[in-house]
Amino acid sequence: MINLKGRLQKVASMVDHCKKPADIGTDHAYLPIYLVQSGICPMAIATDIKKGPLRKAEKNIIRYHMQDKIELRLGDGLIPIKDDGCDVLIIAGMGGVLIRDIIEKSIDTAKKAKHIVMQPMYAEEALREFLLRYGFKIIEESLAKHEGKIYPVIKGAYDGIVREEDIFHLYIGRRLFEQRDPLLKEFLRKRIKRQDRVVQGMSKSLRMKEAHIKENSLLIDMKKAYDEITW
Ligand SMILES: C[S@@+](CC[C@H](N)C(=O)[O-])C[C@H]1O[C@@H](n2cnc3c(N)ncnc32)[C@H](O)[C@@H]1O
């Protein structure tokens, strides 16, 4: 049985039982191998835009005797699974803007999925903003720690309802507070440090004044939220 750690384990834990998930940008294929081995799904599709990662995926699929259960596809984003009826989509280990672009490019395929599990490495605010504006609900969020860094994992699904969100909760997901995520305080501490550097690095010229006020106000909100976390 394959052993997933930290980030990938958290992503896997947010995938519900399903018929045919697709792991987009699979690289090593650890995730679909785990999902099939643990009985979360009977089969899976694993895609990548590059041949190198797919060769790596193939080796692992053979190593774990999954050749008749995991199908490999070469191609960009959701395009290779357009007509496959995949009920769950997983897009992990990429930037939030790339995940957003992948979904936007094949929006009809994304809308049909029962849910999508996304794990942005950065720029998660761009992804949250897009999901809410395009009528996707954020069902659940969780934080995963990997090699000292903390990453959000976002589970969403299309329900057609456009939602507005304030800037602070685009950066630090609302569900993380509602679900009292155990890593939230540590995550916020790291984000405050980073945001502090952003604010300090900004010139206070008249031209930049508005941007400075915006970034500083985000920093104040982060500090306030940090102080209010009791768990
Ligand atoms: C950092 S790896 C992440 C691998 C795995 N999903 C994980 O979370 O550990 C990112 C993978 O996404 C692939 N990728 C990048 N852009 C892609 C796209 N538009 N469509 C499909 N795969 C893509 C890359 O080739 C690479 O193998």
Kindly report the CATH number assigned to the domain that includes residue 82.
3.40.50.150
Q: Is residue 167 part of a domain?
A: no
Among 162, 193, 211, the domain-final residue is 162
**Whether residue 219 sits in one domain with residue 130:** no
Looking at residue 155, the DSSP 8-state letter turns out to be E
Residue 205 token pair: 């010229």
Q: Which residues line ligand 1 (CB under 6 A)?
A: 8, 24-27, 47-50, 53, 76-77, 92-94, 98, 102
pLDDT at 203: 72
pTM exceeds cut of 0.85: yes
Looking at residue 81, the DSSP 8-state letter turns out to be G
Give per-residue pLDDT as tens, 63-106.
999 999 999 999 999 999 998 999 999 999 999 999 999 999 99
Q: Is residue 1 part of a domain?
A: no
Give per-residue pLDDT as tens, 94-139.
999 999 999 999 999 999 999 999 999 999 999 999 999 999 999 9
Residues 6+ apart with CB under 8 A from 193: none
Å from CA of 23 to ligand 1 middle:
9
Q: Is residue 169 part of a domain?
A: no
**Whether residue 154 sits in one domain with residue 57:** yes
C-alpha of 36 from chain center: 20
Q: Is residue 195 part of a domain?
A: yes
Domains identified in the chain, total number: 2
Residue 195's domain spans which residues?
Answer: 185-228
Give per-residue pLDDT as tens, 22-40.
999 999 999 999 999 999 9
Å from CA of 165 to ligand 1 middle:
28
**Whether residue 195 sits in one domain with residue 147:** no
Q: Is the separation of the CB atoms in 160 and 177 below 8 Å?
A: no
